[in-house]
Amino acid sequence: MIVVQGILWHIVFSTLCGALLALVFQGLNGWIAAASLLTGAGLVYACRAFLPGSERRETIAWDWIDKTVAGFILLLGLRHFAYLYFSVDNAVQTLLKNNYGDLPLHIAYIRHLTDGAFFPPDNPFFSLENLFYPFGVDFYNAFWEQLGVPTQSHLFVVGFLLLLATVLALYRFGGILTVGAFFLNGGWAGWQLLTSGVWQDYQETLTWKNFFMTLFITQRGLLMALPLGLWLVGQVRERFYAPNGAASPWSRGQVILVGLAWGALPFFHMHAFIVISLLIAFYTLAGAAPKSNLRQLAPVLALAVPLGTVFVLYLTDLFRKGAMLHFQWSWFEPRNMALFFGVELGPWTLFLLAAAVYRLWKGSGRERAEWLMAGGAFLLFNGVLLAPWDWDKLKVLIWFYLIGVALAAKAVTPFLTPRRKAALCLVLFFSGTVSLLTVSGGQAQPTKLYEWRELWNTKGAVLALPKDAVVAAAPTFNHPLSFWGYAIAVGYSGHLWSHGIDYQEPEAMIGRLYQGGGDWRQIAAHLRVTHIFWGPMEKERYGETPPAWRKELTNLSPVPGYELYVVGPGPTPEFTDGR
């Protein structure tokens, strides 16, 4: 287990080292990537005595049910990460269609960082601001990309190792029920298989679907945030909230690890950082000895607060993106909240409610407080949104859901014989298993992301394009320019909106530029455009009629049908609306 958990700390140490070096030397290059990875490995070795799993030497008792469920999840995860990014039929494809929009975004980030983007890096999908997205995991993958490791290979290895670390973290946090609550969740929809006899993903039409498919495979920040966040919560809970002080105080090495993990968490996932910070505050102040707990936490705070503050200030653009915080209660369909969770989580809802009622009646005062905290926070963050897109609140709710499942698992464990445990797992995991087998098995239909012909034609057209260029192009999520790591002035609106970027007017400017607006030079200057691309996507979106600027500018491309124009010097008065 220590070897598996070591990947977490290698990522933490390497990315922190790499970010510092890239900031000092204004970008990522081969020696920085190699130095960061070697430094990370050295620090993992130096801290091996304090890594997760080293504090307690006892063997985790996996029974046959636990091994079967964990093996099933790992087998499906192996398939999905192996086919996360692959080439077939002269195209780049992905097995899971939920990756259709997300994977091209992360490939663009990785390639943009790899190609030596200045630090702090600019946003490769929006030329008017820096990249304020938590890109820690993509930065780590960029190290391997920089060293020549194929994209398919490092995406697979990093993804699968973090899957293994997440399964272990969930198991330590609450047993196999907590593992299944995340990877095999589902409502009543999947039970239709028993009446229809047809294998299909019956949860596809639901809002949340299966968390393995909608969160873990697609949201790359959670690959790190889940295992790292669960370890942090466990460290604090064991020492400050467990009955009779079950765990010994932190050693100096553990203080450093906890402080670094907490402070670095926003670099990987901002939602997780906010939730974990709230949970640490609760377990510290609601414990048996809050003053003593605060004294123990003080050295951790001394390390975590400065590091976390740097990342939070940067990623929120000095809190200018705080406007993403808003209240919206009626986000779910159907509008009846009880019906929504009854449909989305099905037997999990009944399991959690029954366990909560039982332990609120029978449990200790501290256990009741933990149940009330998890339930109250779950209800609170159903209305308080930390992102523009209401679906993104799932990234917050998932933590309190998992705490509730861990508490419920602890409550029912004394009553579970092997047969009862197997029956409970069958009921709770059935719907999620149907979904995963359907999208992972023979019925899986890979989704095409790019055509290699178009990618290589685009690559040939932009050989003269400088690394720091900003290109006007059609605002889509899978533009070939983004695949190769080049920055485009305005990208896909869905990504920009969900990241809290006011994109409407810049997107309209790009439209006027391609439709022959007389103010195209002002638009290019305002959006910091250095080159204009005219290819198949632009013609499809804006029409075949060549814009007037094609006669004024120089085409640098030798590839027919894929044109690249350099925006030369000229009069660039302060931008005014030329419509």
CB of 268 closer than 8 Å to CB of 136:
yes
Find out whether 400 and 227 touch, Cβ atoms under 8 Å. Answer: no
Q: What residues contact 475, with CB distance under 8 A and at least 6 apart?
A: 488, 490, 491, 492, 493, 507, 510
Is 418:65 a contact under the CB 8 Å cutoff? yes
Q: Where are the beta strands (DSSP E) in 458-558?
A: 470-472, 487-488, 531-534, 554-555
User: Angle at Cα 552 formed by Cα 549 and Cα 556, nearest 5°?
Assistant: 90
- The span from the CA of 219 to the CA of 221, in Å, is 6
- Written as tens digits, the pLDDT of the chain (579 aa) is 566 678 899 999 999 999 999 999 989 999 999 999 999 999 998 888 777 655 554 456 789 999 999 999 999 999 999 999 999 889 999 998 888 889 999 999 999 999 877 888 999 999 999 999 999 999 999 999 999 999 999 999 999 999 999 999 999 999 999 999 999 999 999 999 999 989 888 998 888 889 999 999 998 999 999 999 999 999 999 889 877 655 578 888 889 999 999 999 999 999 999 999 999 999 999 988 889 899 999 999 999 999 999 999 999 888 877 556 667 776 666 667 888 888 889 999 999 999 999 999 988 889 999 999 999 999 999 888 777 777 888 899 999 999 999 999 999 999 999 999 999 999 999 999 999 999 887 667 889 999 999 999 999 999 989 888 999 999 998 999 999 999 999 999 988 988 888 899 999 999 999 987 788 899 999 999 999 999 999 999 998 877 888 888 999 999 999 999 999 654 444 444 333
Instruction: For the chain, give every domain's residue range.
Output: 2-95+132-440
* C-alpha dist (Å) from residue 34 to 9, 138, 271, 294, 350: 16, 16, 30, 39, 51
In this prediction the pTM is 0.93
In 189-289, which ranges are continuous DSSP H helix?
A: 193-196, 211, 220-240, 252-268, 270-285
According to the model, what pLDDT value does residue 38 have? 97
Listing DSSP states for 537-568 in one string gives HHHHHH-SSPPTHHHHSEE---STT-EEEE--
Strands 487-488, 563-566: pairing kind? unpaired
Is-contact 441 210, C-beta < 8 A?
no
